[in-house]
Structure 1
Amino acid sequence: MGSMIKVLVAEDMHIVRGALVALLGLEPDIEVVAECASGDEILPLAQSARPDIALIDIDLPGKDGLTAAAELHEQLPGVRTLILTSLGSPGTLRRALAAKVNGFLRKDAPADRLANAVRGVAAGRRVVDGDLALAAWDSEDCPLTAREIEVLRLASVGSDPTEIAAELFLSAGTVRNYLTTIVSKLSARNRVDAVRIARESGWL
């Protein structure tokens, strides 16, 4: 390879970011041209540094990694995106694929896999961590309707049925019916359990 692969690293944990930058710096064909700690910084940095690849942690403060990746895709289509996650939930992977990211890798992947993922994405391939891909194919699609997810999302932040009803212009009785349906569809013990199941499956 004649030219260097230029990488932007977005990771809010300083130690992890330092390690990523150091690891990539050891590769003869990869150069880290920019680094940042929040999702809001990614697009402006990419516009000035013009990386080939943005290596983005999924859980960033400000804009989350997938939102930032979708923005990059729209505004700087030449920049490919590789998402790093510590959460290998299938729903997260589906969201990442919907955000048109080019790669998806777990943070605890071996160091050589990181460099190879960067090279793979730079070469135009879609790179998805094997374990994550299997989990996504094995996982069941969400049994909840969009409206039920909306109700559960509001319940997950502590809103009671009356508050959820006001927010969604429904009656409190209708909201209670939704919550009962959600709990039974997810085979959950109660509302809190339903929220946990939906979160772990990546539906919320």
Structure 2
Amino acid sequence: MTTLYIAEDQEMLKTALVTILNLEDDFTVIGSSTNGKTALSDIRKLQPDVAILDIEMPKLTGLEVAAQLKEALPATKCVILTTFSLENYFQQAVTADVSAYLLKDSPSDFLIQTIRSVLNGATIYSPELVKNVLRAEKNPLSKRELEILAHIQHGLSTQEIAKTVFLSEGTVRNYISAILSKTGTRSRIEAINVATQHHWL
């Protein structure tokens, strides 16, 4: 019998998933939660064969849960089930070594088939997600540049950013100039728009 745990912050969807998966003769859902912190604690105790994780949940995201389970409970296969096909989420999922990344509009049969496949060692990514990633332009910004651009997006001034990232204001201005150059933009707002459109932020 394959044991499953479901972490999904939408109660109705969580209940539906529990019902659908329990209909399979070889599946049993041994626990569920609507927030990431409880899910992580439960999964560590219950040690299910497969953990099905939403990304955007209170307290801890599904990606954060998966990253911690990679170290604490490597035998549990993590399946991300989300509405988000963003490239940065996908990159985090790959880093967390998840066994599958599916979109919520996938048929339930595909989810069931995926669970069985990952138990046999397969890695499954939603075809729609792979297409989106292949279409996405390569991100020219460094990790530090993305960090500074994110602070700009949240309304911080150059002085505030400098204090936050422990750099001089001059260095921050140099990073901003590099961001504008790499994105081919003339203002911070334009740079944010370009980065958002290409899912770099």
TM-score clears 0.5: yes
In 2 relative to 1, CA 150–19 (structure 1 residues): closer, same or farther, beyond 3 Å? same
Aligned residue among 48, 64, 68 for 2:65:
68
Q: Is the contact made by 1:94 and 1:136 (CA closer than 8 Å) also made in structure 2?
A: no
Using the alignment, how far apart are the partners of 1:196 and 1:102 within structure 2? Answer: 32
Q: Report Cα offsets for 1:29-85 as digits up to 9, x if no partner.
A: 221111011111122211222210000001111111111101111111110000012
Aligned to 2:171: 174
Aligned to 2:88: 91
Using the alignment, how far apart are the partners of 2:40 and 2:141 within structure 1? Answer: 34
Counterpart AA for 2:180: V
Task: Count residues with an aligned counterpart.
Answer: 201
Aligned to 1:134: 131
Q: Is the contact made by 2:5 and 2:32 (CA closer than 8 Å) also made in structure 1?
A: yes
Aligned residue among 135, 145, 151 for 2:142:
145
Structure 1: any 5+ residue segments left out of the alignment?
none
Structure 2: any 5+ residue segments left out of the alignment?
none
Using the alignment, how far apart are the partners of 1:189 and 1:66 within structure 2? Answer: 34
Q: Report the CA distance between 1:9 and its aligned residue.
A: 0.2
Report % sequence identity: 36
Aligned residue among 100, 105, 111 for 2:102:
105
Aligned to 1:40: 37
Using the alignment, how far apart are the partners of 1:180 and 1:23 within structure 2? Answer: 52
Counterpart AA for 2:25: P
Q: Is the contact made by 1:117 and 1:127 (CA closer than 8 Å) also made in structure 2?
A: yes
Using the alignment, how far apart are the partners of 2:90 and 2:80 within structure 1? Answer: 10
Using the alignment, how far apart are the partners of 1:15 and 1:43 within structure 2? Answer: 21
Q: Report the CA distance between 1:177 and its aligned residue.
A: 3.5
List, as ranges, runs of 4+ consecutive aligned residues in structure 1 with deviation greater than 4 Å: none
Q: How does 1:4-23 map to 2 (within 5 A)?
A: 4-23=1-20
